[in-house]
A and B are shown apart, each in its own frame.
Chain A
Amino acid sequence: MVKNNLKTKKIIEALIFGALTLGWIWALPLSAAGLSVGLIAVEEGGDQFRPGATAVLRPWDGAFLDLSLWGREYGKVVERSGLLAAGGEAQVKGILYIRFGGSILAESTRIKEAKTNPDSLTDSEKSDFSETSYAPGFMVGSSLKILNSGPIQVEAQWNSHVYPAGVAGGLFLAHGRRQTFTILGGIDL
């Protein structure tokens, strides 16, 4: 039974990532597209920042797909996190833009066991050494489009990704958040 549940979970994970990948591919051939890459500083609710990498695809004017990745290793513990956000942006004034949309957070924690051959473990035993979780939410943010003329784009973003905490999040506003400061450079596709 446990083995079947793990298989189901893996299938669901594969479907989620498959759908997200299809979203990227679907967005690519559209006109007025732009692609930017950059660096982020991520704050995870503890007033401490971690470095990461990000890519922003603009399938058309006023829409975006953000993918951000970061992680760390300490001792035998490996943490990997990813954010995928999609939404719209609108000019507020001059180079200042507002951004809003949906966001999915994926977090994975794994314990390295160098002396154990993973192939010798059952799925249940493997789950003792790793965990992956997902959280859906929304994002809001602002963007300064420092350079937005011609094919080259340079911008700075300040975003908050908010993930309601279950029923308590819906009724009593409890939530977690990932705050990102981003510097991006990109081109029109």
Chain B
Amino acid sequence: MIYLLLGFVMGVFFAHGTVAQAGSSHSLKFGPSGLGNGGTNPIDIPPNGGQIEYTYVSDGGVETNIGLVPGILVGGRMERGSWYMSLGGGLLVDAIGVGFGVYNGFGYVTGSGPGWHWNFEYKQSIAPDLEGGGFITPSAARVGIIWK
């Protein structure tokens, strides 16, 4: 739980004040997940449930990520041109276990202004494994569309 709080505090700190988030956005991304059992498999056609993630970013730069892997995550997003970085915490899941931890995302959005754009993102995360001890480190590399 301390990791969840730490991640949330980090995310809020990160988002507060200097976040250059240009309006709210919705994105739907697809791509394979790193489940803690070696390299990732290619994405399925159509993608399976563990390869889909929805993200909502508020006007204030607070993002909410919903997906099976890495998990349910809340954090802050900072944009720098077409690039962004996010930092926060939440419930993490991989093939080894489940835990509350922190995540760190890196993304790129094509184009600018309102409308549909392509979105590429990589997320890394870590949490203590609540089931078996040790750590879980789910990750994901995804491509999708973002609506600003």
Q: Contacts A92-B85, A173-B40, A174-B41: A100 and B106 contacting too (C-beta < 8 A)?
A: yes
Contacts of B31 in A (CB 8 A): 173
Chain A 40-63 residues near chain B, CB threshold 8 A: 43, 45-49
A70 within 8 A of B: no
Contacts of B135 in A (CB 8 A): 47, 49
Q: Which residue of A lies closest to B107 (CB)?
A: A140
With most chain A CB atoms within 10 A of its CB, the pick from B32, B43, B137 is B137
A26 within 8 A of B: no
Instruction: Report the contact-size class of chain A (Cβ under 8 Å from the partner).
Output: 20 to 34
Q: Contacts A93-B14, A173-B31, A179-B137: A168 and B42 contacting too (C-beta < 8 A)?
A: yes
Q: Which residues of A contact B (CB under 8 A)?
A: 43, 45-49, 90, 92-93, 96, 98, 100, 140-142, 158, 160, 162, 165, 168, 171-177, 179
Interface CB pairs A-B, < 8 A, 16: A45-B36, A45-B39, A47-B134, A92-B14, A92-B80, A93-B18, A98-B83, A98-B85, A98-B106, A100-B83, A100-B106, A141-B104, A142-B85, A168-B42, A173-B40, A177-B139
